[in-house]
Chains A and B, each alone.
Chain A
Amino acid sequence: MSATTIVSLPDQSTARIPKMNFLTRENGLLSWLLTGDHKRIATLYLISITFFFFIGGALAGLIRLELLTPQSDLMAADTYNKVFTMHGVIMVFLFLVPSVPATIGNFLIPMMIGAKDLALPKINLLSWYLYVVAGIMVVYSMAAGGVDTGWTFTTPLSTHYLNTHVISTGLAIFVAGFSSIFTGLNFIVTIHKMRCPGMTWFRLPLFVWAHYAASILMVLGTPVLAITLVLVVLERLFHIGVFDPAYGGDPILFQHLFWFYSHPAVYIMILPGMGVISEVVSTFSRKRVFGYTAVAFSSVAIAVFGFFVWAHHMFIMGISNYAALVFSLLTMLVAVPSAIKIFNWAFTLYKGSITFETPMLYAFGFMGLFTIGGMTGVFLGATGTDIHLTETYFIVAHFHFVMVGGMLMAFLSGIHFWWPKWTGRMYPEKISQLAALITFIGFNFTFFPQFILGTLGMPRRYAAYPPEFQVLNVFSTAGATILGVGYLLPVLYLTWSLKYGAVAGNNPWQATGLEWQTQSPPLTENFPVIPIMDHEAYDYEWLEHQQQKEVASVG
């Protein structure tokens, strides 16, 4: 086995993509639009979220262009408000929340547990349609003039003082919320009820544990956002409601209800990414994940504790000092399970046989950048520092580090890692490693200066800023350009690989996991016969034993 790569491809002169697979099984548009196959639905999701990612990315480009100069000269301040609002709405609800679960999770979870499909295939398809409807409604809102409340829809600005498209955007997010709920519901039922014989909870890949935890958050948290949006819409329509002080309502109530979902939402976004990292780090160090039980339980702990900390988004908004104290303490607690994961991945790497294929490069990026982002989260969880740093660029940098440096890198890691399984083809390694590097460099140039800007006092959501902040802003915009290139490249070479990539075979990464024991791309029913799980997760000895058996049995 080569020391610099673990990739093991079949002989390219004779290897072929299997003729019968989930992509070729049926043809025609209707076979895709009415499918129940979780892999096809995952593919539909992948195309849709990529589409919305680039719209959100274009909006980010506009933001950074505007911020090149201290004056609000590229666009009016109102327009700028609309741009960053739509950027936030699209990136959070139409990209980050469904990114790994609806694409990679949908694709893999049945295969990882040894099932033929998710428990509720029709609900899965409904989930996708709800997502598409939500996307169309968001695009409509944008085209009709946009909304400028910020993605957080703070009242009474959103219910009383603005005349923009709050209702249509709010309803769009309502619909997207149900898409998310149904995905999470499906995953929980599937993981509980459809594991193959021998697949105990503690033999599950950590990817499944992470999705289980995220699904609990999706199912229990999202409905509160739904009702909050309904109340905002009602208040706008009937000019009476519970959020506007002019009518006797309380704007803090809105924030309590909004953040009750939106804090767990950030864990919905990051947990599946952490699941990807567990799989990738194990495979590219050829070692089982250190402390499997700790990593599994930490996923669930993040989910549970994540419900108890929401008011740390509200420290300066008018909650009582006692409440601020309690939520601040609980926030310190919730950082612990995330840290446990980082430590465990680090110990997985220790004395492993590490190779640097693209998924691993992204995983390294994740570990470093998520750690920085997470630690700055602890600074923000302390009420004293939060009072100074909140609503500045420090916050912006913090969440972009965890979401972009963390989650988006994990998403790309996962896409590259499972691309051979999904399409049967390998992506081109050299250019993908270059893209990963470009992304990492671009990311740091874009967002690190924003930490400094925040501590210096530059407020967020402002189109104009004092001239002394310009140098750092220019750095940030330059980085954003590099970052954009880094994100564009994968779209190009992954599309290229569909036709010209090397044939991957079943298990190009020599990875453990049931999904790697099937053909690439998989059959519609995943397994001709339901497998029986007879070994632990990340069992590389078992894998070697299998390969020896194969070699021995081939004529």
Chain B
Amino acid sequence: MSDSTATANRAVAEVHHEHPPYQRHHFESVDQQFDATNFAMWLFLLTEVMFFGGLFAAYLIMRNWYYPAFVAASHQLQIFWGTANTVVLIASSFTMAMGVWCAEMRRKSGLVLCLSLTLLLGFAFLGIKGIEWHEKWEKHHIPGPHFSVQSFLNPASDVEVHKQYPDDKPLAPDMAQKTEEYFFLYFAMTGMHALHMVIGVGILIFMIFRARAGAYTTGHVTFVENFGLYWHFVDIIWIYLFALLYLISRHS
């Protein structure tokens, strides 16, 4: 049976070439493996862009249709926590980027430190989210059977928010009902984002253990770099969520 005739007379000595242990057998070189997996992660992030894209499209339309309700409802979100979360995530992106640098420079302890800081900041973000969501629960702003439009029909009854936004007028009942749409989108978008954060945090914990074992500081930085891409992407989503959900109109 004739051999593949498309093969040239390559180095007959090219039997089993040496390659690092982390190179998979179907790749011809470490670089090819790195390039391929990096590209694959970017394509995955594209799918995430389109995934969140549907939510953004829904949000844009609802905001246009029910602008007064969206303004009033967004005042229920505390800008303090929102800004804090934004700063936390930006800082975590920084620590993650530094982590990738440490891996590239083969600094194991630096990498572990950076990953740990990123993890801490990730937890901080989730903690703040929990505080915010809990507040929504307390004020009956979770969409569903217990949703209450009281704060929007009569803003004066909601003392803390009314102090910050004394010029907020009461909404007509049907527009007030649309605040539930805002909160549906709020929870859908921040919930989906938080789910991605949780997954990221889980992988970070795994990575810290592996980093301590030296897995990423022997030249094989692919995993850290690709995870970094994912983490930065989650940060970018939050940057847009913050602008869209919290900053609709904070002026009087």
Chain A residues within CB distance 8 Å of chain B: 18, 114-121, 123, 181, 185-186, 188-190, 192-194, 219-224, 226-228, 230-231, 234, 238-242, 247-250, 253, 256-257, 260, 506, 514, 517-519, 525, 527-534, 546, 549-550, 553
Contacts and interface: CB of A to CB of B under 8 A. Distances in A.
Contacts of A226: 51
Given A231-B188, A242-B181, A519 B1 contact: yes
Nearest to A517: B4
Contacts of B43: 185, 188-189, 219
Nearest to A532: B8
Interface string B154-191: 00000000000000000000000110110011001000
Given A518-B4, A546-B5, A239 B40 contact: no
Contacts of A220: 46-47, 50
A506 B51 contact: no
Contacts of B184: 234, 238, 240-242
A228 B51 CA distance: 9
Contacts of B46: 219-220
Contact of A223 (B2, B27, B51, B188): B51
Nearest to A189: B40
Contacts of A114: 6
Given A231-B188, A240-B184, 6 more contacts: A115-B26, A227-B52, A230-B188, A238-B184, A250-B65, A534-B8
B156 to A, nearest CB: 25
Contacts of B28: 530
B47 A181 contact: yes
The residue among A192, A227, A241, A525 with the most chain B CB atoms within 10 A of its own CB is A227
Contact of B54 (A185, A227, A517, A518): A227
A131 B14 CA distance: 39
Nearest to B15: A529
B251 interface: no
Nearest to B184: A240
B199 interface: no
A194 B58 CA distance: 39
Contacts of A238: 143-144, 184
A533 B54 CA distance: 43
20 contacts: A18-B1, A119-B40, A185-B40, A185-B43, A189-B36, A189-B40, A194-B32, A220-B46, A220-B50, A227-B55, A231-B58, A238-B143, A240-B143, A248-B178, A249-B62, A249-B181, A529-B4, A532-B6, A532-B7, A546-B5
B44 interface: yes
B7 A224 contact: no
B56 to A, nearest CB: 10
Interface in B202-252: none
A223 B55 CA distance: 11
A464 B26 CA distance: 57
Nearest to A252: B61
Nearest to A193: B36
Nearest to B8: A532
Contacts of B66: 248
B137 interface: no
B6 A534 contact: yes
Contact of B7 (A116, A239, A527, A550): A527
Contact of A224 (B39, B44, B51): B51
Nearest to B145: A239
A224 B53 contact: yes
A185 B47 contact: yes
A532 B58 contact: no
A117 B10 contact: no
Contact of A517 (B6, B27, B35, B188): B6
Contacts of A257: 54, 57-58
Given A228-B54, A239-B144, A185 B188 contact: no
A189 B5 contact: no
A241 B62 CA distance: 10
A223 B48 contact: yes
A420 to B, nearest CB: 15
A542 B74 CA distance: 69
B54 A224 contact: yes
Closest 9 CB pairs of A and B: A227-B54, A117-B26, A531-B6, A223-B51, A223-B50, A193-B36, A240-B143, A116-B26, A119-B36
A527 B62 contact: no
A247 B185 CA distance: 13
Interface string B59-78: 00110011000000000000
The residue among B10, B14, B49, B66 with the most chain A CB atoms within 10 A of its own CB is B10
Contact of B39 (A189, A221, A517): A189
A527 B25 CA distance: 13
B220 to A, nearest CB: 16
Interface string B1-38: 11111111010001000000000111110001001110
Contacts of B185: 242
Contacts of A234: 184, 188
